[in-house]
């Protein structure tokens, strides 16, 4: 009896792992956003210095995440996906997301776009990719936190269908700013991105 359970358990997680590998395996390729060509790729360890540079540009010289945090995330490639967008070999934007079967949640951990390429649809595109991946994995929601003061980002997330679901007091390291929890329920939605 125990052996049957063990075999069933191993088979269940092997199917899950294979499914995750298939869905999260992104081939590097060209994409067009607002009629401009970009190169979409999985983030690599060699991208970390440029990702930190984007954080410094976006967060007034600060890096909320350090290189060790990014490296740790990139090592967990079975349930996480980090993507970068480049144009003319310049890293312009990145996004990270964890996928959790138990919670049936895809959680966007980090997203940033260099200031001179904001409002060009890059953030929208990257979030839409993660929503699509979450749907392919048959998860029920996509969640994220955003600074209370970042009303532009909140507007973008609301345009994508996210709703405010709560406040995390003193969430951010350093300045202890509050975070707004936002979530979009995806399930079997008819407006699935293709």
Catalytic residue positions, numbered = 145, 157
Contact 66, 173 (CB under 8 A): no
Sorted by sequence, the CB contacts under 8 Å of residue 48 that are 6+ apart come out as: 67, 70, 71, 74
For the chain, how long is the longest CA-to-CA vector? 62
DSSP string, 118-141: TTSSHHHHHHHHHHHHHHHTT-SE
Whether the CA torsion 9, 11, 12, 17 is positive or negative: it is: positive
């Amino acid at each position: 009896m125990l052996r049957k359970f063990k075999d069933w358990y191993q088979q269940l997680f092997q199917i899950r792992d294979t499914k995750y590998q298939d869905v999260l395996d992104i081939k590097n390729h060209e994409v067009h956003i607002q009629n401009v060509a970009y190169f979409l790729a999985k983030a690599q360890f060699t991208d970390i210095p440029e990702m930190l540079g984007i954080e410094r540009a976006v967060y007034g010289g600060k890096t909320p995440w350090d290189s060790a945090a990014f490296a740790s995330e990139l090592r967990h490639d079975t349930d996480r996906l980090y993507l970068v967008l480049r144009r003319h070999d310049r890293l312009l934007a990145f996004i990270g997301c964890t996928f959790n079967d138990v919670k049936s949640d895809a959680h966007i951990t980090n997203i940033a776009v260099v200031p001179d390429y904001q409002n060009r649809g890059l953030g929208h595109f990257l979030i839409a990719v993660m929503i699509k991946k979450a749907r392919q994995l048959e998860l029920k929601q996509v969640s994220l936190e955003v600074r209370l003061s970042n009303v532009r980002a909140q507007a973008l997330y609301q345009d994508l269908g996210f709703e405010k679901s709560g406040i995390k007091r003193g969430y951010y390291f350093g300045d202890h700013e509050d975070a707004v929890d936002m979530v979009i329920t995806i399930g079997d939605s008819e407006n699935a991105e293709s």
